A and B are shown apart, each in its own frame.
Chain A
């Protein structure tokens, strides 16, 4: 089942912060976060694994609440380059399952 992302869209000025949420109705093994710019391929930002391990982008942080099956992506001191659509992808209860992606959150950062 597709995870639910919120909000659908965010508009920021440079330097402002944003939080993007992702929730699932299924137990999760992992949560991935990706950013896609228009017409381009999604780019990997971060992976959060059951048990607390995280791997990813230095300037972006995220949380993973296993009990609530939720993850949040924290974008602080936003830059123009942060604009794009952010997708969370959720994995099942073992590493071999493919990610199911949410519908995305569009972030627009202006100067």
Chain B
């Protein structure tokens, strides 16, 4: 079955550490997205990519970085510059004018 796989499901980060969240899709979608979800805030856009080797910043890109070397993969790195990284991170993909398919998310906690 086609879908989006996010890993790990839970991730713990120490202060000053960079961590990378994985997102892989086998839907052959061109566009991929990263959102951050905090209680009561909805989903806030971090980065998105419409095509391989190209990506754009969203509303809250500071402290995050991404790469899009393959169509199937869009990993997100949470750097030490992100001062409040504890949140639920959702990856999604889409084809033009169709709904987004979301992964099951990664819950990141700073310890």
Chain A residues proximal to chain B, CB less than 8 Å = 2, 30, 32, 34, 40-47, 49, 55-56, 87, 89, 95-96, 98-104
CA distance A64 to B48 in the complex (A): 25
Number of B residues near A (Cβ < 8 Å) is 25
- Chain B residue nearest to A85 (CB atoms) is B42
**B75 at interface (Cβ–Cβ under 8 A)?**
no
**Are the CB atoms of B48 and A103 closer together than 8 Å?**
no
Q: Are A87 and B105 in contact (CB under 8 A)?
A: no
CB <8 Å contact, B90 and A41: yes
With beta carbons under 8 angstroms apart, the residue of B31, B100, B105 that contacts A32 is B100
Q: How far is the CB of A38 from chain B (nearest CB, A)?
A: 11
In chain B, positions 60-111 with a C-beta closer than 8 Å to chain A are 90, 96-105
Chain B 43-67 interface 0/1 with A at a Cβ cutoff of 8 Å (1 = within): 1110010100000101100000000
Q: Could you say which of A56, A96, A103 contacts B41, with CB atoms under 8 Å apart?
A: A103
Chain B residues with Cβ below 8 Å from A44 are 99-101
CA distance A34 to B96 in the complex (A): 17
Shortest distance between the CB of A73 and any CB in chain B (Å): 14
Q: Are A103 and B42 in contact (CB under 8 A)?
A: yes
Chain B residue nearest in CB terms to A30: B97
Q: Which residue of B lies closest to A8 (CB)?
A: B40
Cβ-defined contact, A102 with B42, below 8 A? yes
Q: Which residue of B lies closest to A56 (CB)?
A: B99
Contacts of A89 in B (CB 8 A): 43, 100
Nearest 9 Cβ contacts at the A-B interface? A44-B99, A41-B102, A103-B42, A98-B48, A101-B43, A101-B42, A95-B96, A41-B104, A42-B102
